[in-house]
Amino acid sequence: MNATGEPPETGPLRVVLVGSGRTGLRTARILATHDHDVVVVERRADQVQKIADEYVATVIEGDATRPSILEQADLQQADVIAGLTDTTATNLAACTIAKQRNPTIRTVMRTAHDDPNEYDEFVDETFVPEVAGAKVAASAVELGVQALEGTVGEIEILDIEVGPDTPVAGKTLEDVALPRGSLVVTGAGGDSIADAETELLAGQSYVLAVDPSVANEVINLFRG
């Protein structure tokens, strides 16, 4: 975390996920493959065992609306908390407790309501799982990387902002060795089709199509 209250722009994050249902577990898997340090708080014993068996995250058993349980996730060291249960009130309570314990933590919340903007003054970001999914939930956690809807098959479509002092910053595509299975689709800001002369500028976003097996490598090249 930094003094402005934003998570680090580059490098792995320490993420606390509340809930490990379908959305929560898939989100944990995605974040784990991106080398983030994931902690899951889950009240159901069967789900706790499932997560433990997969080794995708540290798991804490208990009700996340109880401060004594949530504090076991070491909130002071966490960069992000994401409430991913199917109960909006539970997610909001967990985010509120976390923010009270750590004012710099980034809060992300799943909501069942049609107007997620209703919670803008209480949490940093919301999403509705019926129109999003685990990839979009993970994107809400990771600043600078956004999974776009409309993904075809197993190919992931990512909108990635180039971080400063990263391996690709300031270089043209001709001079960048991207892993096999990845393709830069657009130029800066999505205003043009990328070609060999497209320069990857720090602070600018580019749309990429990537095979899931190389997604983490590509993100590291663009984000550091």
Domains, the chain, ordered by start: 14-143 (3.40.50.720), 156-223 (3.30.70.1450)
Tens digit of each residue's pLDDT (9 = 90 or more) over 149-170: 544 456 777 778 898 889 999 9
Angle between helix axes 22-33 and 134-141 (nearest 10 degrees) is 60
What are the beta bridge partners of residue 3? none
Mean pLDDT of the chain: 83
Residue 49 predicted with pLDDT over 60: yes
Beta strands in 19-65 (DSSP E): 37-42, 58-61
pTM: 0.61
- Look at 92 and 21; give whichever has higher pLDDT: 92
| Contact of 186 with 194, CB cutoff 8 Å | yes
| Contact of 64 with 18, CB cutoff 8 Å | yes
What are the beta bridge partners of residue 83? 18, 109
- Look at 76 and 136; give whichever has higher pLDDT: 76
Residue 1 predicted with pLDDT over 90: no
Alpha-carbon distance of 205 to 111, in angstroms, equals 28
| Contact of 88 with 19, CB cutoff 8 Å | no
What pLDDT, on a 0 to 100 scale, did the predictor assign at position 191?
73
| Contact of 88 with 113, CB cutoff 8 Å | yes
What end-to-end distance do the CA atoms of the chain give, in Å? Answer: 16
- Alpha-carbon distance values, 60 to 40, 85, 153, 184 (Å): 6, 15, 34, 39
Average pLDDT value for residue range 81-90:
92
Q: Which of 97, 95, 82, 93 is nearest to 39 (CA)?
A: 82
Helix extents (H) in 102-172 = 134-141
Highest mean pLDDT among 14-28, 82-96, 117-131: 82-96
